[in-house]
Amino acid sequence: SYVLTQPPSVSVAPGQTATISCGGDKIGSKGVHWYQQEAGQAPVLVVYDDSDRPSGIPDRFSGSNSGNTATLTISRVEAEDEADYYCQVWDSDSDHWVFGGGTKVTVL
Amino acid sequence: QVQLVESGGGVAQPGGSLRLSCAASGFTLSDHTMHWVRQAPGKGLEWVAGISWDGKNQHEADSVKGRLTISRDNSKNTLYLELNSLRLEDTAIYYCARAPSGPYCFDTWGQGTMVTVSS
């Protein structure tokens, strides 16, 4: 089955840039989606199809995808960005939806 | 306002069964593929199952294969999940989630319902 690998944690100071990686075999050929989950809350879609943002999501959130790594970038980080972030793809070989293990972003 | 509200969670014994419901409002359920995603305490997200707009196609994760029935009643705007032969590792928050037209992602989530499997 397809595996997505994320770093367990990322720490960033307010106003700086947080970068979260999501590794997978030839992930660049797949559409990657990102979710933010604040403590005790349901996930929220923040980026879909590698780099598109749903309405209402600040443009501080951006994404890219190439080769074996997809990346979520949070610019000008704010305290409210502290949350868990998950990447997700659809694996056409198994017809399964797959999540990465999640990355906890801590704002220092 | 687009909304998904899950219900039916609770405590069940190992080997038992549970049926979860997800009531949809603010949109036409039959326009969307729907999914269930779960999250064990302190763990990450795990896709569980999905069902096409008309109910004719279902997909399920290997971890629940053969123990799960996903169904829907578009006339009642409701999605269902029946999980049988419950195991301790089925303990989790179960979220229903909507798939948008096009991208293979989940654009709307419910607040979740907790299932605890314990003897």
pLDDT confidence bin for A106, thresholds 50/70/90: very high
Cα dihedral B19→B35→B117→A101 (10° resolution): 180
Please state the rounded mean pLDDT for residues B106-115.
Answer: 98
Query: At residue B101, does pLDDT exceed 90?
Result: no
> Would you say B34 and B23 are in contact if contact means Cβ atoms under 8 Å apart?
no
Rounded CA-CA distance B6/B95 in Å is 7
B35 vs A contacts (CB less than 8 Å): 97
Report chain B's mean pLDDT, rounded to a whole number: 97
How far is the alpha carbon of B77 from chain A, nearest alpha carbon, in Å? 21
Please state the rounded mean pLDDT for residues B16-39.
Answer: 97
> Would you say B32 and B98 are in contact if contact means Cβ atoms under 8 Å apart?
yes
- Given this model, what pLDDT does residue A5 score? 98
SS3 for B63? helix
Report chain A's mean pLDDT, rounded to a whole number: 97
A84 vs B contacts (CB less than 8 Å): 44
Asked if A85 has any chain B CB less than 8 Å from its own CB, the reply is no
Asked if A62 has any chain B CB less than 8 Å from its own CB, the reply is no
Q: In chain A, what percentage of residues exceed pLDDT 70?
A: 100
Beta bridge partners of B33: none
From the list A37, A97, A101, which residue is nearest B50 (CB)?
A97
Query: At residue B71, does pLDDT exceed 90?
Result: yes
- pLDDT tens per residue across span A73-83: 999 999 999 99
